[in-house]
């Protein structure tokens, strides 16, 4: 049976709803390409194309996973920590929370597949939301075709590849790699090294530290809150259409596409670019006590 027919049969049998069926059908086509054709689409499409390539294995996953749709009852799974946790989700929201427990705990509905090796735990789901609790030092890689993603209280290596949907981050350290075809990215208390590429949507990040990296956006606004005592060199690419504003004291040169300015004594570089949209850089006052408090809930 063709993939499309299988999805429609699952819809007919009530095993998935209309929204999930639509997302699955789109995932079998080209849902990750940034389709805006206005000014600057070339840059946005290049970013979104990278996201699409990173998700290219999902259609095969859909074909191999459709048959194991479940009843919709919530399940709870528990595993010992592994060096790496890999999640592949076709549709549904994903929530990842770090804590101090030495377990991987997963709540989900519908069908799933789990495979384990000595160093890796891999989870595949077709539809339905996923709720994960892991140790804060767990290395995680997520590929999601559609749905919102939330991640908090993690300080290792977090890699997120999302076709579409919003991304919400809080208390993230270590290394953060994000590729989103389309959707907003919002982050609070971020101290990770950054590698962020978004096809279209707004990026709003509150940085508690600034170890450097890259932020590239095809179309949309970028807002960064940077500690006033950060030691970083910012490399800002001027938007083709949009304004640059900052609480820090620097001048924007008229006749250059890219300019640099420093905060403190630079120990890292942060590259910032949006093709069309505003760039706002805010000065964040130093807070007393620990700026990075983790929620245990």
The CATH number of residue 254's host domain is 2.160.20
* 271 within a domain of the structure (yes/no): yes
Mean pLDDT of 51-79: 62
pLDDT in tens, 236-256: 999 989 999 999 988 888 888
- Among 66, 44, 17, CA closest to 216: 44
- Among 211, 217, 226, CA closest to 272: 217
* 115 within a domain of the structure (yes/no): yes
* 102 within a domain of the structure (yes/no): yes
Q: What is the mean pLDDT of the chain?
A: 82
pLDDT in tens, 83-133: 999 999 988 899 999 999 899 999 998 778 899 999 999 999 888 899 999
How many Cβ atoms sit within 10 Å of the Cβ of residue 39? 12
pLDDT in tens, 22-37: 666 666 553 433 344 4
| Domain of residue 162, residue span | 75-284
| Residue 217: band (very low, low, confident or very high) from pLDDT cuts 50, 70, 90 | very high
The residues facing 154 across adjacent strands are 172
Residue 125: both structure tokens together: 């789901």
pLDDT, position 212? 95
* 125 within a domain of the structure (yes/no): yes
Mean pLDDT of 221-244: 94
Q: Domains in the chain: how many in total?
A: 1
pLDDT, position 43? 64
Q: How many CA atoms lie within 13 A of 184 on its CB side?
A: 8
pTM higher than 0.85 for the full model? Answer: no
| Residue 295: band (very low, low, confident or very high) from pLDDT cuts 50, 70, 90 | very low
């Amino acid at each position: 049976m063709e993939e499309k027919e299988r999805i429609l049969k699952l819809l007919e049998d009530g095993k998935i709803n209309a929204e999930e069926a639509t997302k699955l059908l789109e995932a079998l086509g080209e849902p990750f390409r940034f389709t805006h054709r206005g000014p600057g689409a070339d840059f946005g499409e290049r970013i979104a194309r990278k996201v699409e390539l990173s998700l290219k294995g999902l259609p095969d996953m859909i074909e191999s996973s459709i048959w194991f749709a479940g009843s919709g009852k919530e399940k709870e799974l528990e595993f010992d920590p592994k060096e790496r946790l890999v999640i592949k989700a076709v549709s549904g929201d994903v929530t990842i929370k770090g804590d101090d427990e030495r377990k991987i705990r997963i709540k989900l509905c519908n069908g799933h597949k789990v495979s384990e090796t000595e160093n890796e735990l891999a989870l595949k789901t077709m539809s339905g939301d996923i709720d994960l609790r892991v140790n804060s030092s767990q290395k995680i890689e997520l590929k999601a075709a559609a749905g919102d993603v939330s991640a908090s209280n993690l300080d290792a290596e977090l890699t997120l590849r999302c076709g579409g949907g919003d991304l919400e981050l809080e208390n993230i350290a270590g290394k953060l790699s994000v590729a989103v075809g389309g959707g907003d990215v919002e982050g609070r208390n971020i101290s990770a090294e950054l590698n962020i590429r978004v096809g279209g949507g707004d990026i709003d990040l509150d940085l508690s530290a600034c170890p450097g990296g890259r932020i590239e956006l095809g179309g949309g606004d970028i807002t960064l809150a940077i500690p006033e005592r950060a030691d970083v060199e910012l490399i800002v690419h001027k938007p083709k259409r949009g304004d640059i504003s900052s609480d820090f004291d620097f001048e924007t040169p008229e006749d250059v596409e890219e300019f640099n300015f420093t905060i403190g004594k630079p120990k890292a570089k942060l590259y910032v670019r949006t093709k069309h949209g505003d760039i706002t850089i805010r000065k964040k006052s130093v807070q007393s006590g620990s700026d990075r408090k983790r929620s245990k809930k």
